[in-house]
Structures are given as structure tokens and as C-alpha cells.
Amino acid sequence: MAQVLEFKLPDLGEGLTEAEIVRWLVEVGDVVAIDQPVVEVETAKAMVEVPCPYGGVVTARFGEEGTELPVGAPLLTVAVGAPEGSSGSGEDSGSDPESTGGSGNVLVGYGTGAPAARRRRIRPDRLDRAVTEAPVSDAPLVEAPVVEAPVVKVLVAEASVSEGPVPVVSPLVRRLARQHDIDLRRLAGSGPDGLILRADVDRAIRTAEETATARVAEAPVQAQVPAAAPNGVAVAVDAERIPLRGVRGAVADKLSRSRTEIPDATCWVDADATELMAVRAAMNAATGPSAGPKVSVLALLARICTAALARFPELNSTVDTEAREIVRLSGVHLGFAAQTERGLVVPVVRDAHTRNAESIGAEIARLTELARTGKLSPAQLTGGTFTLNNYGVFGVDGSTPIINHPEAAMLGVGRIMPKPWVHQGELAVRQVVQLSLTFDHRVCDGGTAGGFLRYVADCVEQPAVLLRTL
């Protein structure tokens, strides 16, 4: 006899606690193989295809596209054939979920727990029996003050209110009820065995809205005053509210934490990038044995950063606030800011200090393409030690960027454009760029930060300086 197994949203790693369903890859009734991707979800850091550890027939899906689910919430159920040699049915078979074809390899690299036990519907008669057998407290009842509110909870089947389990299977139904302040314990389900369906919750919501409308109609008409937001700023009634979740929510949390914890300071300098641009043009124009892939300006700047960090290792560090220690890091994992349709992401070039400009450029191009397609893994978005931010692509000259917590510094690069410049004692038109360094004042003083930025500017103006470190 087939056994129905429930597959829950697995732990996606990196401290992620929820994910949003982007696209279902299977329908109810489809036959799935072990480790076949069944749903595409978006976390705060990446888009991930989630494979199912069971093979069988999909019997139910939990959540529509666009629904956000917490880790551990049911994703789908799969009817799995009983293993050979098994006999009996139901609870008497004693079958182990792990023997029904589960692989345990969901999201390789993160790991999964044991398969979830089968969910069971709660019969109303068992609920009634639980209520009857429950001990009654002798504590006196305290009457709380009643506060009138426009939104009214619907009370249905008052006598069936229980502290036991609520006969609801779908997490969507629970979420819908929670969003509209509907007490599921006070609803009588119209489904099999008293199961509470979405139609029951929708009916309760309509009843609550009609009741609230009637009360508002009876109340005296008052002028509509903008509601006050928690921060005390008046908000118009028709203002749009956009949830801070996914990538936007993760960015908001990280930037807020950076501003709260890090005492940052910024210094900047203008540099003549004419020689750097000439060197890049010569590299890309090379033919024969010396020819190679095209080298971008960002790759050259990244190589300059690794050379500068070797001279000023204070900026390749982090602060352990609990131990009150500066942790100086041995390797450079260089993050670079990339704007995508999903928002700002910071892919990380691992071991950038061991790479040359060509290798760094190839890795930046690879990670940028993954960022555009939303296929970056959480591991490719974390672990950076220093960030390079090329905001010049937006047509701006300067900025005071916020440090990518828990790093200690970020180099910002503005647009490179022709400007009047004194060169060799004469006024000339040169390719000028503004460089800005935002740094954590806890890890170093202005002298170190200024030395780092001056070295970067010298390498931009005279690329031959880099030959000393090659």
C-alpha cells in the first residue's frame, strides 16, 4: 500500500529562515523521481531549485507562487509505494520513512534532517473528547476590559473552542486566517471530518468585514485623518506599503546593522586614469601568443585593491565585538557590488590575492552572469573581506558607500570622464576618476586609510607601480 510522505522546506543554510515560492516545477498528480527539482524558491540571498528526496506521485502542494514559507513548513506530499516484502497497512506496517526511497540529499552542501512524519487529520469527535477530558482549572476568572475595534473576529461554533490541535492542513489557510485576525478554533469546518477549508475562512472574513462596515456606518462621520506611522510621521491612507523581504529585506537589515555598529569615515581623491586606460587598451589589443581574454577596468581596479591590501592589511579585517578584538584576515575574498533586477547583490571572488587581473576578470564575468540570471548560491554571496563598488556605471562621480558588514572597508569608484587636468606642468584634458574609501575607524586611523587610498590612486595614475608586486 502506498505511503504518503510530507516534504518540508529544508534548511537552506547561511542563517536563512524563510523562502518565497517563485515557480512550481511539478503539478499534483505528476510522478517525481528521487532528487528531482520540484519548486524554485527565492531566499534573501539567491534563487534555488529545491529537489525532493522522495520518489512517487505528488498528492498535494502547499503554497501558491509568491507565498513566503518558513523553513520547516510543508512544501508537498508524495505517495510512495511500499517497499518490497512489507505487509499490512497504515500504522501496523511499521515502515521507516527512510526506507521509502528518500535520498536525504536535498540542497547538496546544506544537508537535511530526517523525513517528516505523515500529517494526520484530526477528527472532531477526538477534539470534543480532548476537551471533555481536559482538566479544569479552579483559578478565578478575571474579566478584562472590552475594547471596541473596527475589525471584528467571527465567532462560530462557540462551544467547540479548544486548546487542542486545529483541524487545518493547508498552511495557506492558517496564514490567511492570521492575516485577517480570524480565530481558527472558533470556526466549524465544512470539509471531511470537520476539516477547515479556505472557503470557511473566506466566509468568516466576509462576515467580519460586513460587521465592521455596519459599525462604521452607525458611527458618526469624522474627517479622514492620515494614520500615524510608528516613527511618528503621518502616512496617507492610500499610501502603498511594500514588504521588506527577500533580497530587499536582507539588504535593509545588513545596511541598518552596519550603520548601527560601525563608526565609519570616508576619504576621497581624484586620480588621473589616462595611463590606466591606455594600459588596458594595450592589453586588449595584444595579438599572437600574448593575446588573451579582454580585461575590464573593474578587474584592473580589483587587482590594484589586492596589492593595496597587502601593504595595508588593517583594512582586510573585521571586529569581534564580543571579544573586543580586531581580527586581521589572511586571505582577500573580494566582493563587488552588482545591480540586478532582484536588487543589489555582492558576489565574492574567492582568494583574490592569489589571482592576476585576467583571472579576477574572468571570475567577475562569471559571477556577474550568475547574478543577472538569479542563480548565485548563498555561498557565492557571503564570506567577503573587502568590497569594491563601481558606482560609476550609474553615471555618478562620487559617493559615501555604507560598509558591507562585517567588513572593515569599501572602495568606491566613480565614472571615468575627460576633465581639465594639470599634466606635466600644462593644462590638458585627461581621463579623471574620483576614488572614495569608507573605512571602520575602529580598525585603523586616518593615516592608514589615507595611505591605502593614495597607493590605489598612484597605481591608477602610474600602472607601472604594480610591477613591483607582480
Spatial distance between the Cα atoms of 189 and 389, rounded to a whole number of angstroms: 56
3-state helix, strand, coil in the chain (%, to 5): 35, 25, 45
Strand partners, 343: 340
Name the maximum alpha-carbon separation found in the chain: 97
Pick the catalytic residue from 128, 200, 441, 458: 441
Q: By the 8 A CB rule, do 206 and 182 touch?
A: no
The enclosing H or E element of 52 equals strand 47-52
Spatial distance between the Cα atoms of 172 and 116, rounded to a whole number of angstroms: 19
Give whole-number Cα distances, 275 to 69, 149, 339, 457, 462, in Å: 53, 70, 28, 12, 6
- The total of other beta-carbon atoms located within 10 Å of residue 204's CB is 23
Cell numbers of 383, please?
Answer: 564570506
Which 3 state secondary structure label does DSSP give 289? helix
Strand partners, 349: 334
Pick the catalytic residue from 320, 397, 445, 458: 445
Spatial CB neighbours of 249, under 8 Å, sequence gap ≥ 6: 44, 243
Which candidate, 99, 112, 148, places its Cα nearest to that of 11? 112
Residue that the C-alpha cell 562585517 belongs to: 406
Which 3 state secondary structure label does DSSP give 283? helix
Phi and psi at residue 126, in whole multiples of 5°? -70, -35
Spatial distance between the Cα atoms of 233 and 328, rounded to a whole number of angstroms: 43
Q: Residue 406: is the preceding peptide bond cis (ω within 30°)?
A: yes
Q: Is 441 a catalytic residue?
A: yes
- Cα 184 from chain centre: 31
Q: By the 8 A CB rule, do 308 and 386 touch?
A: no
Spatial distance between the Cα atoms of 335 and 320, rounded to a whole number of angstroms: 20
Give whole-number Cα distances, 234 to 230, 244, 248, in Å: 9, 20, 24
Q: Is 445 a catalytic residue?
A: yes
Would you name the residues annotated as active-site residues? Answer: 441, 445
